[in-house]
Amino acid sequence: MKRTCIILPVVALLMSACSAEKEDGPVAYARTMMLYSQADGNGAGDYDSAAGGSQGSDGAVFLFWNFGDVISEQEYPVPMLVSRPPMNINSYSRPNSPFNTETLYPDGGLRVMATGYAPDSGLAPGEIPGGGENYLELSLDEEGICVTDMLTTVNTIVGSATLPFDRADGEQMKFRHALSRISFKARQDESMETTRIFYRRVRISPSDGNIARKLVWNRDAGMYEAHNDITGPDDFPYTLDEGENARQLTPNSTNNVGQLYLMPGSSVFIKVTITRSEDVDFEESEDVTFETELKFNIERNAGDPDDLDRDGSLKSTSQIYAGEAYTFTLLFKEDGIELTGKECAWENGGSIIIPVYPILPDDADGGSQGGTDTGNGTAGADGGADDEVTGNGGAGI
């Protein structure tokens, strides 16, 4: 009887322990998907403060995929979860709290891949044949072309219940700009100290070939890339229009004209129309109209990580890249208007001067059609070229 009394409690304890292990086992692996996100340099944080910082349709979209569907190269994989965080991308960067999807990882330790894009508003997934949404291709609505700062994740992160996204050594999901930003300013030449210059009706139209209309997932690169998807003849479907209000220039100030978000590439074709006058009533004014190709000659430095492409090769000296920003100035001079340009960081600043082809009116009595220079450098009145402007170092983009 004494032996029985000793054995029974031990058996009961063992049974209790086994029962507890079975109950706690599944619970130990029931993890909620949480991850960190970050705007990865290049001023991507500008997007967050401007558009992605409030709840609603302008924020980012986080996509969670069954990793098995991705590596099996299904033609139309469907995300297992489409999530729209209520705050901006950088709100979930370390050391802040991660974004909580409030959704559990799949059972069985199945791996999940996370990607994303922004903004939610204006970008619509395509259609899968037979039904369903195709998040491999996102189309931008017409109202959004040239004015939408689209972002893409540049790294694919993988997590599971046993190796969660938010682990101590886990990667953050990094976003960057998918387009190049071209800004335009107006300035009066410093030599015209006694002349008053007024202008209005500044209209700048990029070529259709420079306009992004889609984000398309590149499986090899693991990120979205901009596509223009031209379906008709190359035209000028969008115009940056500053309006009818007259503005005055002074030699020591610069006026902002506007900005465009365009396809990365080797050149930008634009059509420009400006009405200029030396009196505020525009009683004696002239319309200057021209079309030109903006080419780039950028000094790249192999020792600067910002000048290296994703594969480690040196970026082209004649091409603008996603996440790079450029400012062009319409310089009003006595004998016409010319364009000058520089590469700058997305936020501010810059250090590379880019030779641009200046434009001059044909005649002095108000001719409307401008001519284009065909050389490198600043065009004189006779169409010849002066000294070439060269780069002075790599820009911190």
Tens of pLDDT, residue by residue over 57-99, are 468 999 999 998 887 888 999 999 999 999 989 999 999 999 9
For residue 186, give the 3-state DSSP assignment. strand
List all residues 6 or more positions away from 287 whose beta carbon is below 8 Å from its beta carbon: 201, 273, 274, 275, 366, 368
Tokens of 37: 């996100």
Give the CA-trace dihedral at 234, 240, 244, 249, to 10 degrees. Answer: -120
Sign of torsion over alpha carbons 224, 230, 235, 236: negative
* Contact assessment for residue 110 and residue 67, using Cβ atoms and an 8 Å cutoff: yes
Confidence of residue 169 (pLDDT cuts 50, 70, 90): very high
pLDDT the model gives residue 347? 55
Distance CA 176, CA 278 (A): 44
Distance CA 288, CA 285 (A): 10
- Ordered structural domains, the chain, with CATH: 31-177 (no CATH), 180-372 (2.60.40)
Can you name the residues that pair with 173 across neighbouring β-strands?
A: 37
- Distance in Å from the first CA to the final CA of the chain: 84
pLDDT tens for each residue of 262-279:
999 878 899 999 998 888
Confidence of residue 171 (pLDDT cuts 50, 70, 90): very high
Pairing of strands 240-241, 157-159: unpaired
pLDDT the model gives residue 232? 58
* Contact assessment for residue 159 and residue 32, using Cβ atoms and an 8 Å cutoff: no
Return left, alpha or beta for 309; rule: phi > 0 is left, psi -120 to 50 is alpha, else beta: beta
Omega before residue 95 within 30° of 0, cis: yes
Tokens of 76: 């139309």
Tokens of 208: 């259709």
Is 90 exceeded by the pLDDT of residue 23?
A: no
Average pLDDT, stretch 13-40? Answer: 57
Distance CA 131, CA 79 (A): 14
pTM, full prediction: 0.76
pLDDT the model gives residue 290? 84
Distance CA 280, CA 292 (A): 28
Query: 191 or 186: whose pLDDT is higher?
Result: 186
pLDDT the model gives residue 348? 41
Average pLDDT, stretch 366-375? Answer: 32
* Contact assessment for residue 373 and residue 361, using Cβ atoms and an 8 Å cutoff: no
Give percent above pLDDT 90 in the chain.
38
List all residues 6 or more positions away from 248 whose beta carbon is below 8 Å from its beta carbon: 196, 197, 198, 280
Tokens of 174: 């990094």
Is 50 exceeded by the pLDDT of residue 120?
A: yes
Q: Count Cβ atoms below 10 Å from residue 303 Cβ, excluding itself.
A: 7
Distance CA 174, CA 172 (A): 6
Nearest-5° Cα angle at 275, 342 to 259: 35
